[in-house]
Amino acid sequence: MVFNCVVKTNTEQIMSEDKSIIQDLGGPTRVAELLGYDKLHGGVQRVQNWMLRGIPARVKLEHPEIFLKRVVEKNSSH
């Protein structure tokens, strides 16, 4: 028996959530601004890359008010 279904791995789920966070915050340019990254020297491209690779854990921990807000809200609702 063959099943043609897609199962997301934990890593794929996290990357999908990270992409959604960036989009919800206004996109790579807006996130680069929020983080104080220089838009003319690769800041926007860095954030754009996170949409494919995921937001580095270090960045999430350095800016919990931006990136971990959903986690806190999600856990407090239980």
Q: What is the pLDDT of residues 41-53, one digit of tens each?
A: 999 999 999 999 9
The model's pTM: 0.75
- The distance of Cα 24 from the centroid of its chain, to the nearest Å, equals 10
What is the reported pLDDT for 13?
A: 82
SS3 content of the chain, % helix, strand, coil (to 5): 70, 0, 30
Q: What is the pLDDT of residues 17-66, one digit of tens each?
A: 999 999 999 999 999 999 999 988 999 999 999 999 999 999 999 999 99
